Amino acid sequence: MYKKILVAIDLSNDSKKVIETAAKLAGDTGKLHLVHVVEPVAAAYSMDIYAVNISELQQEAINFAEERLAKVGKDLSIDETRVHTLLGAPAPEVRNLASEIGADAIVIGSHGHSGWKILLGSTANKVLHGATCDVLTVLVGQKDD
C-alpha cells in the first residue's frame, strides 16, 4: 500500500514498538526511512547560556543521536542514506523531511495523553497538523495487557 514510510523515533525504548508497526505496514524494510530530530539545546533546557559551551553540548547531542540511529538502521538493514538525524523543532522537521523524500506515510509514537497534555499538544499531534501524507500514531508507553 505504501511505497515510502518515514518512521519518526525518539530513540527511547518505545521506539521498538513504533519501528515494528512501521515494518509490518511496509511489508519490508526497503520502504522505511528513519528520522530522529535533536532539539536545539538552548530550547530544550532553560539554563544560563554563559555557564556552558552550548555549541559543544549541541554537537555532543547530535553525535550521540547519529550513532544510536545509525545502529538502529544497521540492525534493521536500512541503508544509511535512509537514516536521518536532524536538528530543530521535531514536528516541522519531520513534516519537511516527509515532503522532501516523497513519503506517503509517517509513523510516530504517541503516549495518548489527555487533559492538559493534549491541549498543549504532543509531537505526534503537531506532526499530524500540516502533514501532506497519512500519519499513523502508535500508542506507546502503556503496559501491554
CATH code (residue 41):
3.40.50.620
Number of domains in the chain: 1
Look at residues 36, 21, 13 and name the one whose alpha carbon lies nearest to residue 138: 21
Strand partners, 7: 34, 107
pLDDT along the chain (145 residues), means of 10: 92 92 84 94 58 79 95 94 95 97 94 54 84 92 59
Residue 145 lies in a domain: no
Residue 108: per-residue pLDDT: 94
**C-alpha of 87 from chain center:** 11
Dig out the grid coordinates for 66 from the structure: 547519529
Residue 70 lies in a domain: yes
Cβ-contact 56, 73 below 8 angstroms: no
Residue 1: per-residue pLDDT: 78
In this prediction the pTM is: 0.85
Domain of 80? 5-139
Torsion of CA 80, 62, 60, 126, to 10 degrees: -150
Distance CA 143, CA 141 (A): 7
Residue 10 lies in a domain: yes
Residue 120: per-residue pLDDT: 46
